Homo-oligomer: A and B are copies of this chain.
Amino acid sequence: MSARRPVLGLLAQCRRTPGRLSNPRCRRGLSTIPDAQRATPLFARYLSLTALGLLVASPLFYKMAVDNTLMLDSPTLAERDQLAKLQPVDDASPMRLRMEKFVKEQQREIVRGLEAIDGGKFRIDEWKRREGGDGITCVLQEGNVFEKAGVGVSIVYGKLPKAAILKMRANHRNIVNDKAEIPESLEFFAAGLSLICHPKNPMAPTVHLNYRYFETANPDGSSGTWWFGGGSDLTPNYLFDEDAILFHKSLKDVCDAHNKDFYPKYKKWCDEYFYNKHRMESRGIGGIFFDDLDGDAQDKETLFAFIQDALKSFIPTYTTILNRRKDMPFTEKEKEWQQIRRGRYVEFNLVHDRGTAFGLNTPGPRVESILMSMPLTATWKYMYEPERGSREARLEEVLREPREWV
């Protein structure tokens, strides 16, 4: 244990450094949720999207969160990163730290951008995972423009058990060397930002966005397998072609600047993923969705650049759409249709979304972070059918047959 003491001493110092993990905009400080409840934060969503195999890992995450990590003899990935963060994070830093820094910066930018359009303030809850990692959940509820808007960041350190490693090999052959014995567990890191906005005005569309980075550590502490995932999609209640075109064009421009294959591929993937199959209709008019984007060291830089551009393009595009719609007049009937569509959104998130299911089925989840994606209100009317030829019926047609918008 002697080799371990200096590391622990340093860590203790880190933990005492005020403001290191605190958000300057924080209005509530650390959440008062008990540790056991904090153990599996929102990030469970992204994890499951990166690999369903992780499902089996959840009891372990929980166990680790309540165990005393100081029993180990060599520093964990979380501990190494705590030390590394004493230096400024730059392009030479490990991708873990760069991604974490980037999503936390973007969260602040997005919160600022959405507050500017709404006029209201986000509630900001920071929470920590005892064994490493933390999260910030920002929610603006019952604002002027938004019924509910949530922007969450999660940083997770954990261990993948053997079963999860074996499943991940399906998409990532190099997760363990073909000739090497499969270890009992592998340390992993995951970081991501997730966002959902449900505006009040039924003419203004709901939007969802999520970008994430996943990495395993080799037994010697160096970076192992890694991949990026993410995307963004739009869910209007009333279809304005110009909004759909702008949203898709903005994503296509970002994609094309990096790789001409991205947009057609990820647009299709999005249409396939956000599909309410029991209703035989899409959740919305799509966008882009991708997962398991990996490669060599050069690819990692290229993909990170892509993710950065994609995330940065969100606020300008969405605020343009919101400014067109947020003050439009609407009828009670149109508000009712919005509430029906909200019901479909709930159905997708609770029935089909792998990330939500994974999060909720993990012991001791931070439920309020996972379910910040729920609309403030939703309606289910038995046998509700839009009038033939109405704008509501037109939306349904497009949801049944995804379109090419650009």
With an 8 A cutoff between CB atoms, is A70 at the interface? no
When each residue 350-391 of chain A gets 1 if its CB lies under 8 Å from chain B and 0 otherwise, what string results?
Answer: 110000010011000101100110111111111100000000
Chain A interface size band reads: 20 to 34
| Bound-state Cα–Cα, A350 to B345, Å | 12
Assess whether A367 is in contact with B150, with CB atoms less than 8 Å apart. Answer: no
Which residue of chain B has the shortest Cβ distance to A360 in the bound complex? B278
With an 8 A cutoff between CB atoms, is A141 at the interface? yes
Dominant SS at the A interface? mixed
Assess whether A376 is in contact with B368, with CB atoms less than 8 Å apart. Answer: no
Assess whether B382 is in contact with A150, with CB atoms less than 8 Å apart. Answer: yes
Assess whether A382 is in contact with B372, with CB atoms less than 8 Å apart. Answer: yes
Assess whether A139 is in contact with B367, with CB atoms less than 8 Å apart. Answer: no
Which residue of chain B has the shortest Cβ distance to A350 in the bound complex? B350
With an 8 A cutoff between CB atoms, is A195 at the interface? no
When each residue 340-352 of chain A gets 1 if its CB lies under 8 Å from chain B and 0 otherwise, what string results?
Answer: 0001001100110
Assess whether A382 is in contact with B278, with CB atoms less than 8 Å apart. Answer: no
With an 8 A cutoff between CB atoms, is A79 at the interface? no
A277: B residues at CB distance < 8 A? 361
Q: State which of B278, B346, B350, B379 has its C-beta within 8 Å of the C-beta of A361.
A: B278
With an 8 A cutoff between CB atoms, is A291 at the interface? no
Q: State which of B125, B360, B376, B379 has its C-beta within 8 Å of the C-beta of A380.
A: B376
With an 8 A cutoff between CB atoms, is A148 at the interface? yes
Question: Which residues in A have some Cβ–Cβ distance to B below 8 Å?
Answer: 123, 125, 139, 141, 148, 150, 277-279, 339, 343, 346-347, 350-351, 357, 360-361, 365, 367-368, 371-372, 374-383
Q: Can you list 14 residue pairs at the A/B interface with Cβ under 8 Å?
A: A125-B383, A139-B382, A139-B383, A346-B346, A346-B350, A347-B360, A351-B357, A368-B382, A372-B382, A374-B380, A376-B379, A376-B380, A377-B380, A378-B378
